Amino acid sequence: MVFEGNVAGERGSHTVGVAELGPVPPGYEDVGGARFQVG
């Protein structure tokens, strides 16, 4: 699962919680701290 978007703020300053994550299919989970970044 990849989150993509243009949001104001420093890299790493935003937290994705349950409300932002939404429903997750069975067998998938929040990996937390993923560092996939495109520059």
39 three-class SS: coil
Q: Which domain holds residue 39?
A: 1-39
Q: What tens digit of pLDDT does each residue of 1-39 get?
A: 555 666 677 777 777 777 877 787 888 776 666 666 554
- Supply the pTM of this predicted model: 0.31
pLDDT of residue 38: 53
Q: How many domains does the chain have?
A: 1
Q: Mark residue 19 as left, alpha or beta (left: phi above 0; alpha: psi -120 to 50; beta: remaining).
A: alpha
Three-class DSSP labels, 6-37:
CCCCCCCCCCCCHHHHCCCCCCCCCCCCCCCC
